[in-house]
């Protein structure tokens, strides 16, 4: 079943406005880091900047859809452990090998919630409270987490476990440990959110249709090797467009960024639709299709 896309929002290196970012991408502009900082938030005690961007995007996507806040499920994707090293030098520079006086020698300079900020489901918990999402939901972790969250949300809608699904993903490959393994592809960061509903209930609010498949269990309709091969060939054609060319590799947020970008471009009708493939983990393919 395809789901109706009724709300979308993102925070990218080229801005937050969907139309403006699309125009800048089509003009050949590129960027990797989101400039500035998120708006001040009480959630900053437990979330770092990318998580805060995810909260902003989630609230914006839900507001754009004008969807009443009842039986909304929340499905989230995070890239994995992205450690904040900024407090480490002050905390450990003067430590001794025997650990004596560790608190006075620097540990007292670390934020008391330093470790809690790294929990993978922090964004899920705080977004659900922030927007009042009380339906089914789950958090996925890993490079392909956004695609898995989207596929799970569509299945939950199909099973009528929820009336609408808020799908959110965020990731940054600009952390030091990620930059060491970035290779030749430009690392980037982004947060994105989608509000999806059953097509017959979305009506005129629908911006398009979206479908996704995780390809893990070989069910009917899931991507097959031949399909993946054709998609890979299409991506090499000059008239096809890949958001990663302008925003870099955004890890777990890739699938949702693709949906936002492709739905915007299809609506503008300035380019033919591209089929985007995320191969974030060996043997795992997340295919995203957006239709009008």
Least confident of 59-73, 96-110, 171-185, 222-236: 222-236
Per-chain mean pLDDT for the chain: 80
Question: Domain coordinates of the chain in residue numbers?
Answer: 3-81+120-291, 86-115
Residue 69 has pLDDT above 80, yes or no: no
Least confident of 5-9, 21-25, 36-40, 178-182: 178-182
Q: What is the CATH number of domain 3-81+120-291?
A: 3.40.47.10
Give pLDDT tens digits for 241-281: 566 778 888 989 988 998 898 788 766 554 444 445 544 44
Q: What is the pLDDT of residue 273?
A: 47
Per-residue pLDDT, averaged over 169-190, amounts to 77
Residue 210 has pLDDT above 90, yes or no: no
Considering the entire predicted model, what is its pTM?
0.81
The span from the CA of 11 to the CA of 27, in Å, is 19
């Amino acid at each position: 079943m395809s789901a109706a896309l009724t709300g979308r929002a993102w925070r990218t290196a080229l801005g937050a406005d969907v139309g403006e970012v699309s125009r800048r991408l089509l003009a050949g502009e590129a960027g990797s880091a989101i400039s500035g900082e998120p708006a001040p938030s009480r959630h900053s005690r437990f979330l770092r900047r990318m998580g805060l961007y995810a909260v902003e995007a989630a609230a914006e996507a839900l507001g754009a859809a004008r969807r009443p806040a009842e039986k909304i499920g929340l499905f989230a994707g995070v890239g994995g452990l992205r450690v904040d090293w900024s407090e480490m030098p002050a905390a450990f520079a003067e430590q001794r090998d025997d650990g004596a006086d560790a608190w006075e020698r620097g540990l007292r300079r670390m934020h008391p919630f330093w470790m809690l900020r790294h929990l993978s489901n922090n964004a899920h918990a705080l977004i659900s409270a922030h927007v009042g999402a009380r339906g089914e939901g789950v958090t996925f972790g890993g490079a392909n987490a956004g695609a898995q969250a989207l596929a799970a949300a569509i299945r939950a809608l199909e099973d009528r476990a929820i009336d609408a699904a808020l799908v959110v993903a965020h990731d940054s490959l600009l952390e030091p440990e990620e930059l060491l393994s970035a290779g030749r592809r430009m690392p980037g960061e982004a947060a994105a959110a989608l509000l999806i509903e059953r097509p017959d209930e979305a009506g005129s609010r629908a911006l398009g249709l979206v479908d996704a498949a995780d390809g893990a269990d070989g069910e009917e309709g899931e991507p097959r090797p031949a399909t993946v091969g054709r998609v890979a060939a299409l991506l090499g054609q000059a008239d096809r467009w890949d958001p990663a060319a302008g925003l870099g590799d955004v890890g777990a947020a890739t699938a949702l960024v693709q949906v936002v970008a492709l739905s915007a471009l299809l609506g503008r009708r300035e380019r033919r639709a591209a089929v985007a493939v995320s191969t974030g983990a060996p043997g795992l393919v997340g295919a995203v299709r957006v239709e009008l």
